[in-house]
Chains A and B, each alone.
Chain A
Amino acid sequence: MTIIGLPAPSPAAHAVAFPEVEDARAWCREGDWNALSAMFARLRTVDDVYFMARIVGDLPEADAFLSDVASAQPSAPLPKVLLAARAIGLAWQARTGARAQHVSRSQLDQMHEHLRRGEQLLIEVTARDPADGAAWALRITNARGLELGQAEARRRYDRLAKHHPHMHGAQAQLLQQLCPKWSGSWESAFAFARACAADAPEGGLNAALIAQAHIEYWRELDGSERSAYFRRPDVGQELATAAARSVLHPSYRPVYGWVTAHHHFAAAFSLAGDHRRARAHFDALGDLTDRFPWAYLGDPTAQFAEHRALAAGKG
C-alpha cells in the first residue's frame, strides 16, 4: 500500500536528483534555521514548498530544532508547516507500512496523536493564510490519516484549489483518498485524475496522475484481468497521451516531483509490454531508483532493474 499517497521518494534518490535535499538535512542537523528558511524563501511554487516540507518531514534531525523555532516565532507559518510535515512522517512511521487490518489499536492511537498535533498547527496556518498551499496539501493527507471522510478531504482540496488550481502534489494526495481503498470509488478517482490532467498547463506533472490512477486500479485486479489490463488499447493510448502532455512535452521542466512522475510512466508502460515507450522514462531517470510504484510489482530494486534492462534492449 502506498503509505502517504505518493510518499516522498527514497531520500537517496532525492539527494542525487536535488542536491539541496542534502543541504536541508545538514541545516536541520546543525539547527541552522536561517539557512533552511532562506532556502524555502527561494522556492518558486507551492509544489516546491510542499515537496521540500515533505523532505524535512522525513528527517528525525528536525524534531527538537523545529519545536524550538516554532516557539520562538509563534506567528511564523513555516515552522508550523514543517512541524506538521514531520508529524505526518512520525505518524506513518508509527503506523508502519502494514495494510489497515494489520495495524494494532495502539499503533493507530500513536499515529492519530501525531496527526492531531500537526493538524492543529495547520488549522491555525490555514486560518491565518487560506492561500498556504503546502499547509492545505498536508491537511489533505491528515484528513486521510484521521479518517475524516471523502467530503472533508475534498473540501480541503477545494479550499486549496481556489488559490492553486494545478498543485500537483496536493492532487496526488487527494487521488489517494478518492481510491476505493480509502472509501472512494474508481469513478471519482479517474474523473479527478483526468480533470486535473486536462485543466493543467501542458508540460506540468499533473497528467502523471493518470498513470498513478491506472496503477492503483491495476493493483486491485486479479489474474488474467490484471495481466491484460495495461495491454488494453484504450489504457495504452490514455497513458501515451498523458506522458506526451506532461513529462514528454516540450515545455516540460524537471521540477520537484519529476522523479516520481517518470517512475509511474516507466512502470505503466513496462506493464503494458511497451518497452519502447518505457525507455524514454527510464532514460530520464538514469540511476534514480524509487520504491514506488515498483514495490507494487515485487522487490522494487529488482523490478526497476529488470524492466529498465528490457527497455534498454528495445532501444
Chain B
Amino acid sequence: MLELTEVDGVPTLVAPSSGQAAAGLIFRVGQADETLPLHGVTHLVEHLALHDSGLSDYHYNGETTSVYTHFHLRGSESDVVGYLGKVCAGLADLPMHRLEIEKEILRTESRSRGGTTTLPLRRYGARGYGLPSYPEWGLARLRPEDLREWVETYFTRDNAVLWIAGSGVPAGLRLPLRPGVRRPAPAPTSALPATPAWFAGDDTSVVFSAVVRRSTAASVYSGVLERELFRDLRQEGGYSYTATATYEPRGDGFATVTAYADALPEKQGAALGGFVDVLARLRHGAIDPSGVAAVRTKSLEKLNHPEIEAARLPAHALSLLTGQRNLTVDELRAELSAVTVEQVHAVAAEAVAAGLLQTPHRTTADWAGFAAAPTSSAHEADGNRHPHREDGEVELVIGPDATSIVRPGSCATVRYDACAAMLTWPDGARRLIGDDGIVLHLEPAMWTASPVELAVLDAVVEPSRHLPMPPRDPAAIPRPGAGRAAAARAGAGGRDNPGEIIAIVLLLLVAVALGVFGVLQAVIAATTGGRPLDLSLLGGAAVGAALFATPVVLLLRRRR
C-alpha cells in the first residue's frame, strides 16, 4: 500500500511495484516562475544537474513544465540511489564549465521541437503561465550567479517531493539538498479583458483552451469534448484528421482543458464551425448521457491497472507538492462513478465562459460570440512623435512613461513599468515586449527619430529587462528603400559576382593581346619596308580583338 515517509527532509511517497524500480524527484518550480529575461533558467538548471548522470543502462530523464521540474528514472535500486544522488550533487554544484554547451543544446532542442503554441501568451501575457509561448531568450544573458540563485530559491528540500515505485526506500539513498521554503504555484496573470475570446492562428487548425476549477467532472468534460469533436469533425464531417482534448491541473486548484482539431485548408471554415457547435452543444446541456458513461467507463478501466498506486505516484507527488487534495484510487473511483451529465454541463458552461479560441488563419469567431483578444493597446504614449520613413501614416511616440507605434485607428503601447523585456541588437534595433504581450519592434533606420532619442529606451527600461541578441546579418537589417535596391540588384544579375569580374579581366587581356599583336605586325611591316604585309594574319588579329572586346563592353555597360 501507499506509504508517506521522508528522505533527508524530503516528503517521500512509496508504492509497491514489481519488476524494475522507478523514482522521481519533483521540485515546485517551472517556467511560470520565471520572467521573460530569465526564461529558460529552470530548463538550463535541469540540464546542468543531469549532465553528470552519464551514459548508463537505466532509463532516466528530466522534464521542465510550467509549474514543476521532474527528475525521474527506471532502473535498479542502486540506479535510483546513484541517479538521485548525482542530481542532488549537480544541483549543489552546477557544472558551470558546461554552461555554454548546455545553452547550445537547449537552443537546438527548441529548434527541433518546432513552433510553440501562442495560447499561453494570449491568455496570460508575457509573464508567468504565458512564458512557455516564448523562446528561451534568457539563455543569452544567464550567468552562473543567476543559476545558483535560482537553485537556492527553488531547488530545495522544502520545495520537493520524492516518489518511489518499488519495494521501499532503497538503502543508502541520500538527498543532500539545501533547506528552503515551499513555493506555491504562481498567481495567474491575464492578458484577456473579456472571455470567451478568440484570435486567429497562423495555420488551419482550431485550438480551444479553458481554465476551469479542478474536479473529476472537469476531467470527464475533457473526455466528452474529445469524443464529440472526433465524431463531428472527423467521423461525420471529414474536416479533421486529429481531434483531441486534454485535461491538465495547473497546481493552484484550477485545471486547463485544451482541445485541438486540425483541418484541410479548404475545410478550415467547417472545422471551425463544427468546433464552435460542439462547444455550444455541451454548454447548452445537449449532452449525450451515453458519451458521459463511455468516458467514465474508460477512466474507471484505467484505474483497474494492477499497480495503479505506483502508476499514479507522479500525479500524487505533484498534488502533495502543490498542496492540492489528492484522491485515493477508491475515492477517485467513487467520484468518477458519480459524475453526472448535469455536472459535465456545468463544467462546459464554465469552460466556454473562460474560453480562448484560436481560429484558423484569416478566420474570426466574433460571429460566434467570442471577443477579439487584444492585438493593440487602449492608450497611446505621450511624447515626441517621429514619422516612419516609408509610411507617413505610422508614427513612433517615445514618451517618459511609455512608447507607442501609432497607426490610423490602432496603436501598440508598452509602458516601461510593465515591460516584460526589451530585446537589444548591436545594430541598434530594439524590441519592447509588454507584460500584456504587446510587441513594439523598432528598426532605427526606419524612423526619423535620432539615435539619441532611441537610446532613451536603454535608460528607461530597467537593465534587468534587457535581453542582448546576437548580431544580425547586415543584409537582413531593414533600411529605407531597401526593397527597391534589392529588386534592382536582382535585375543586374549580381553586382558583386566575382566570376563576372574574372571573366571581364580575362576577355580584356585576350582582346588587348590580339590588338597589340595586330598593331605590331603593321609596324614591323612598315619599318622593314619591302616585305609584304600578311593581311590575313592582321585581319584575324583585328577580328579576334573585336570578338573578345565586345562581351567586355556589354558586361561593363550592364554593370553601370
Count of chain B residues near A, Cβ 8 A: 24
Q: Which of A146-163 contact B (CB under 8 A)?
A: 146, 148-152, 154-156, 158-159
The answer to whether A115 and B367 have CB atoms under 8 Å apart is yes
Residues of the B chain whose Cβ atoms lie less than 8 Å from the Cβ of A126: 277, 280
Residues of the A chain whose Cβ atoms lie less than 8 Å from the Cβ of B268: 149, 151
| Distance in angstroms between the alpha carbons of A52 and B266 in the assembled complex | 34
Q: Encode contact with B along A104-123: 1 for CB under 8 Å, 0 otherwise.
A: 00000000100110011001
Q: Encode contact with A along B255-289: 1 for CB under 8 Å, 0 otherwise.
A: 00000000000111111111011001101111000
Residues of the A chain whose Cβ atoms lie less than 8 Å from the Cβ of B369: 116, 120, 123
4 A-B pairs closest in CB distance: A149-B269, A151-B270, A152-B269, A127-B280
The answer to whether A155 and B273 have CB atoms under 8 Å apart is yes
Q: Which of A72-130 contact B (CB under 8 A)?
A: 112, 115-116, 119-120, 123-124, 126-130
Partner of B367, one of A124, A146, A155, A159: A146
For residue B239, CB closer than 8 A to chain A, the reply is yes
Residues of the B chain whose Cβ atoms lie less than 8 Å from the Cβ of A119: 367-368
The answer to whether A123 and B277 have CB atoms under 8 Å apart is yes
| Cβ distance B349 to chain A, nearest Cβ, rounded Å | 12
A152 touching B270 in the complex, CB below 8 Å, given contacts A116-B367, A119-B367, A146-B367: yes
SS of A interface (majority): helix
The answer to whether B277 and A148 have CB atoms under 8 Å apart is no
Residues of the A chain whose Cβ atoms lie less than 8 Å from the Cβ of B366: 116
The answer to whether B269 and A151 have CB atoms under 8 Å apart is yes
Q: Which of B386-402 contact A (CB under 8 A)?
A: none
The answer to whether B269 and A123 have CB atoms under 8 Å apart is no
| Distance in angstroms between the alpha carbons of A39 and B274 in the assembled complex | 33
Further pairs besides A146-B367, A151-B267: 16, Cβ < 8 Å = A116-B366, A116-B369, A119-B367, A123-B277, A123-B369, A127-B283, A128-B285, A143-B273, A148-B367, A151-B239, A151-B268, A152-B272, A155-B237, A155-B274, A158-B237, A159-B277
Q: Encode contact with B along A205-224: 1 for CB under 8 Å, 0 otherwise.
A: 00000000000000000000
Partner of B270, one of A112, A124, A127, A154: A154
Q: Encode contact with B along A125-143: 1 for CB under 8 Å, 0 otherwise.
A: 0111110000000000011
The answer to whether A127 and B284 have CB atoms under 8 Å apart is yes
Partner of B286, one of A128, A148, A151, A152: A128
| Cβ distance B276 to chain A, nearest Cβ, rounded Å | 7
Residues of the A chain whose Cβ atoms lie less than 8 Å from the Cβ of B285: 128
Partner of B281, one of A116, A127, A155: A127
Partner of A155, one of B266, B270, B280, B368: B270
| Cβ distance A255 to chain B, nearest Cβ, rounded Å | 29
| Distance in angstroms between the alpha carbons of A124 and B280 in the assembled complex | 7
| Distance in angstroms between the alpha carbons of A154 and B273 in the assembled complex | 11
A148 touching B269 in the complex, CB below 8 Å, given contacts A116-B366, A126-B277: yes
A156 touching B368 in the complex, CB below 8 Å, given contacts A127-B281, A127-B286: no
| Distance in angstroms between the alpha carbons of A148 and B273 in the assembled complex | 9
Partner of B273, one of A112, A127, A128, A156: A156
| Cβ distance B75 to chain A, nearest Cβ, rounded Å | 52
The answer to whether A155 and B239 have CB atoms under 8 Å apart is yes
Q: Encode contact with A along B303-319: 1 for CB under 8 Å, 0 otherwise.
A: 00000000000000000
| Distance in angstroms between the alpha carbons of A142 and B281 in the assembled complex | 19
Nearest to A143 among chain B residues (CB) is: B273
| Cβ distance A150 to chain B, nearest Cβ, rounded Å | 7
Residues of the B chain whose Cβ atoms lie less than 8 Å from the Cβ of A142: 367
| Cβ distance B279 to chain A, nearest Cβ, rounded Å | 9
Residues of the B chain whose Cβ atoms lie less than 8 Å from the Cβ of A154: 270
| Distance in angstroms between the alpha carbons of A148 and B276 in the assembled complex | 13
Residues of the B chain whose Cβ atoms lie less than 8 Å from the Cβ of A127: 277, 280-281, 283-284, 286
Partner of A120, one of B239, B274, B277, B368: B368
Residues of the B chain whose Cβ atoms lie less than 8 Å from the Cβ of A128: 284-286
Nearest to A123 among chain B residues (CB) is: B280
| Distance in angstroms between the alpha carbons of A60 and B284 in the assembled complex | 30
Residues of the A chain whose Cβ atoms lie less than 8 Å from the Cβ of B363: 148-149
| Distance in angstroms between the alpha carbons of A112 and B368 in the assembled complex | 12
Residues of the A chain whose Cβ atoms lie less than 8 Å from the Cβ of B273: 143, 148, 151-152, 155-156
Residues of the B chain whose Cβ atoms lie less than 8 Å from the Cβ of A129: 286
5 contacts between A and B (CB under 8 A): A127-B284, A128-B286, A130-B286, A148-B269, A150-B269
| Cβ distance B371 to chain A, nearest Cβ, rounded Å | 12
| Cβ distance B199 to chain A, nearest Cβ, rounded Å | 17
| Cβ distance A282 to chain B, nearest Cβ, rounded Å | 41
| Distance in angstroms between the alpha carbons of A152 and B237 in the assembled complex | 11
Nearest to A75 among chain B residues (CB) is: B284
| Distance in angstroms between the alpha carbons of A150 and B239 in the assembled complex | 13
| Cβ distance B42 to chain A, nearest Cβ, rounded Å | 42
Residues of the B chain whose Cβ atoms lie less than 8 Å from the Cβ of A155: 237, 239, 269-270, 273-274
| Distance in angstroms between the alpha carbons of A132 and B369 in the assembled complex | 20
Residues of the A chain whose Cβ atoms lie less than 8 Å from the Cβ of B272: 152
| Distance in angstroms between the alpha carbons of A149 and B274 in the assembled complex | 13
Residues of the B chain whose Cβ atoms lie less than 8 Å from the Cβ of A149: 268-270, 363
| Cβ distance B66 to chain A, nearest Cβ, rounded Å | 32
Nearest to A115 among chain B residues (CB) is: B367
| Cβ distance B84 to chain A, nearest Cβ, rounded Å | 52
Residues of the A chain whose Cβ atoms lie less than 8 Å from the Cβ of B237: 155, 158
| Distance in angstroms between the alpha carbons of A150 and B273 in the assembled complex | 11
